[in-house]
Amino acid sequence: MAPTPPDQGEISAEVFDRLVELAALALEPEERDYLRRELNGQLRAIRALDAIDVDETLPITSHGVPYSDATRPGIRKDRAQEADKADAILAQAPEVENRYLVVPDIPQEALE
C-alpha cells in the first residue's frame, strides 16, 4: 500500500506565507492568489504518484543514464589557470566600488 501523503489538504495561506519567506520573494496580492491556486492544482496532479505501489528499496539515481567507469568523465587535473575575465565578470555586477561588490546594509544583531 502506498504511504499516506503527509498533507492531503491544500497549501494553506500560512504554509504559503512561510514558503514565500524562505524563497525570498516579494509578491503582489493578486500574484499570491494566482500562485497559491496553481500550486494546489499542481499538487493534485502530483498525487497521481500515490496511486501506485513504489518499492522503497528501488534505487534512485542522480540522472536517468547510468554511467560506467568507461563512460564516466574523469576528474579534471587540479591545476591553476590564468583567468582574464575578472573585469568582464565584475562589469556584470549591479553595484561595484573599487572592485568590491556593494550590497545594502546587513542589519547587525548583538550576539547573545
Instruction: Using CB under 8 A, list all residues that contact another protein.
Output: 3, 5-7, 11, 15-16, 19-20, 22-27, 31, 34-35, 38-39, 41-42, 44-50, 52, 54-56, 58-65, 67, 70-76, 85, 88-89, 91-95, 101, 103-107
Q: Cβ neighbours of residue 59 under 8 Å, at least 6 residues apart?
A: none
Q: Is 90 left (phi over 0), alpha (psi -120 to 50) or beta?
A: alpha
Instruction: State in angstroms the smallest separation of the CB of 53 from another protein.
Output: 10
Amino acid at 78: D
Cell of 39: 500550486
Q: What is the nearest approach in angstroms of another protein to the Cβ of residue 86?
A: 9
In angstroms, give the least distance from the CB of 17 to another protein.
11
